[in-house]
Amino acid sequence: MKETFDQAAQSLDSKGALLGLDLGTKTIGVAVCDPDRAVATPVSTIRRTKFTQDAEQLLDMAAARRVVALVLGLPLNMDGSEGPRAQSTRAFARNLANKTDLPIVFWDERMSTMAMERELTALDTSRAKRAEIIDEMAATYILQGAIDRLRNLNS
């Protein structure tokens, strides 16, 4: 699972909804895109408990939305190297892959949470509301970046 997004994208069908995930230590932000992969929209934020319960919730969401693949934000360091958070994300993906046949691809998520924090602040969103929705907004940012890249690869 060390392949690049572009390499992994070759194994994806050209149509079908994707589920985007922003994996945090306490929460998982979830977003989905339409089957034509034009627009990513926020779905929810899952409070993390045990891996099995978290995976079950995610896979239930994926099934309900007829998702064909998962896009997991990979928190790389600013220099592109992988630190403990990226390793933890890869471990989560390996464990999740044991529970589903859905392809799991990684998207470089550097700055996604900070970008969404700035956007929500610019929209004058209250601090409490930002804290409530930041993870699903970051997942939306991650997924939108991935589907925009897929569109460019397929054109």
Confidence class of residue 14 from pLDDT cuts 50, 70 and 90?
Answer: confident
Kindly state the average pLDDT of the residues 3-18.
85
Range of 34's domain? 5-153
DSSP 3-state assignment of 32?
strand
Cα–Cα distances in angstroms (integers) from residue 8 to residues 18, 21, 62, 71, 150, in the given order: 14, 16, 19, 10, 11
Cα–Cα distances in angstroms (integers) from residue 58 to residues 29, 76, 116, in the given order: 10, 23, 22
pTM summary value: 0.85
Report the percentage of the chain scoring pLDDT > 90.
59
Query: What does the mean pLDDT of the chain come to?
Result: 87
CATH number at residue 136: 3.30.420.140
DSSP 3-state assignment of 16?
coil
Provide the number of structural domains found in the chain: 1
